[in-house]
Amino acid sequence: MQITIDLPDNLAITEPDLRREVAIALFQQKILLIEQAAQVIAMDVDDFYQILVDRGILTPPTDPDDDPNELILAHLRISLQQAEAGDLKPISELWDGLDD
Protein backbone atom coordinates (compact mmCIF):
# COMPACT_ATOMS: atom_id res chain seq x y z
CA MET A 1 0.00 0.00 0.00
CA GLN A 2 1.24 3.46 -0.76
CA ILE A 3 -0.05 6.60 0.92
CA THR A 4 0.72 10.17 -0.06
CA ILE A 5 0.69 12.89 2.56
CA ASP A 6 1.22 16.56 1.76
CA LEU A 7 3.05 18.33 4.56
CA PRO A 8 4.16 21.95 4.88
CA ASP A 9 7.63 22.60 3.46
CA ASN A 10 8.79 24.22 6.67
CA LEU A 11 8.03 21.15 8.76
CA ALA A 12 11.14 20.06 10.65
CA ILE A 13 10.65 16.32 10.12
CA THR A 14 12.11 14.06 7.49
CA GLU A 15 10.23 11.32 5.66
CA PRO A 16 12.10 8.54 7.54
CA ASP A 17 11.29 10.25 10.85
CA LEU A 18 7.62 10.49 9.91
CA ARG A 19 7.52 6.84 8.83
CA ARG A 20 9.09 5.84 12.16
CA GLU A 21 6.52 7.82 14.14
CA VAL A 22 3.64 6.32 12.16
CA ALA A 23 5.03 2.80 12.67
CA ILE A 24 5.36 3.40 16.41
CA ALA A 25 1.84 4.81 16.65
CA LEU A 26 0.36 1.88 14.71
CA PHE A 27 2.21 -0.57 16.95
CA GLN A 28 0.96 1.22 20.09
CA GLN A 29 -2.60 1.06 18.79
CA LYS A 30 -2.14 -2.68 18.18
CA ILE A 31 -2.80 -2.22 14.47
CA LEU A 32 0.63 -3.61 13.55
CA LEU A 33 2.69 -6.34 15.17
CA ILE A 34 6.22 -5.39 16.14
CA GLU A 35 7.74 -7.08 13.07
CA GLN A 36 5.20 -5.40 10.77
CA ALA A 37 5.97 -1.98 12.25
CA ALA A 38 9.69 -2.63 11.84
CA GLN A 39 9.09 -3.61 8.22
CA VAL A 40 7.29 -0.30 7.55
CA ILE A 41 10.53 1.51 8.27
CA ALA A 42 12.83 -1.18 6.83
CA MET A 43 14.41 -1.80 10.22
CA ASP A 44 15.49 -4.97 11.95
CA VAL A 45 12.89 -6.04 14.52
CA ASP A 46 15.53 -6.05 17.29
CA ASP A 47 16.48 -2.43 16.53
CA PHE A 48 12.83 -1.39 16.44
CA TYR A 49 12.28 -3.11 19.78
CA GLN A 50 15.13 -1.05 21.22
CA ILE A 51 13.47 2.18 20.02
CA LEU A 52 10.28 1.10 21.81
CA VAL A 53 12.24 0.36 25.00
CA ASP A 54 14.14 3.67 24.79
CA ARG A 55 10.81 5.52 24.56
CA GLY A 56 9.30 3.60 27.47
CA ILE A 57 6.67 1.94 25.28
CA LEU A 58 7.94 -1.56 26.11
CA THR A 59 9.73 -2.71 29.23
CA PRO A 60 12.73 -5.00 28.83
CA PRO A 61 12.95 -8.17 30.93
CA THR A 62 14.39 -7.70 34.41
CA ASP A 63 17.06 -10.31 33.70
CA PRO A 64 19.30 -9.07 30.87
CA ASP A 65 19.99 -12.69 29.85
CA ASP A 66 16.28 -13.26 29.09
CA ASP A 67 14.97 -12.58 25.63
CA PRO A 68 11.91 -10.31 25.59
CA ASN A 69 8.65 -12.14 24.89
CA GLU A 70 7.79 -9.62 22.15
CA LEU A 71 10.98 -10.48 20.26
CA ILE A 72 10.63 -14.23 20.74
CA LEU A 73 7.12 -14.12 19.28
CA ALA A 74 8.18 -11.78 16.47
CA HIS A 75 11.07 -14.05 15.46
CA LEU A 76 8.81 -17.10 15.58
CA ARG A 77 6.24 -15.39 13.32
CA ILE A 78 8.99 -14.29 10.92
CA SER A 79 10.41 -17.83 10.82
CA LEU A 80 6.97 -19.28 10.16
CA GLN A 81 6.40 -16.85 7.28
CA GLN A 82 9.79 -17.76 5.82
CA ALA A 83 9.04 -21.48 6.10
CA GLU A 84 5.63 -21.03 4.47
CA ALA A 85 7.30 -19.10 1.63
CA GLY A 86 9.82 -21.92 1.15
CA ASP A 87 12.74 -19.81 2.40
CA LEU A 88 14.42 -22.68 4.21
CA LYS A 89 18.03 -23.06 5.30
CA PRO A 90 19.93 -26.33 5.40
CA ILE A 91 20.43 -27.80 8.88
CA SER A 92 24.18 -27.53 8.32
CA GLU A 93 23.86 -23.70 8.39
CA LEU A 94 21.82 -23.47 11.60
CA TRP A 95 24.86 -22.99 13.84
CA ASP A 96 26.84 -20.71 11.50
CA GLY A 97 27.91 -17.50 13.19
CA LEU A 98 27.12 -18.56 16.75
CA ASP A 99 30.78 -18.45 17.77
CA ASP A 100 31.24 -14.88 16.47
Please give the full DSSP string across 23-70, using - where no structure is assigned.
HHHHHHTTSS-HHHHHHHTT--HHHHHHHHHHTTSS---SSTTSPPHH
Question: What's the pLDDT score for residue 77?
Answer: 92
pLDDT at 1 exceeding the cut of 80: no
96 band by pLDDT with thresholds 50, 70 and 90:
confident
Question: What's the pLDDT score for residue 100?
Answer: 63
For residues 84-97, b (16+ Cβ closer than 10 Å) or e, as one string?
Answer: eeeeeeeeeeeeee
CA distance 19 to 77: 23
Of residues 100 and 66, more confidence is placed in 66
Task: Give 35-94 pLDDT, tens digit per residue.
Answer: 999 999 999 999 999 999 999 999 988 887 888 888 899 989 998 888 888 887 787 777
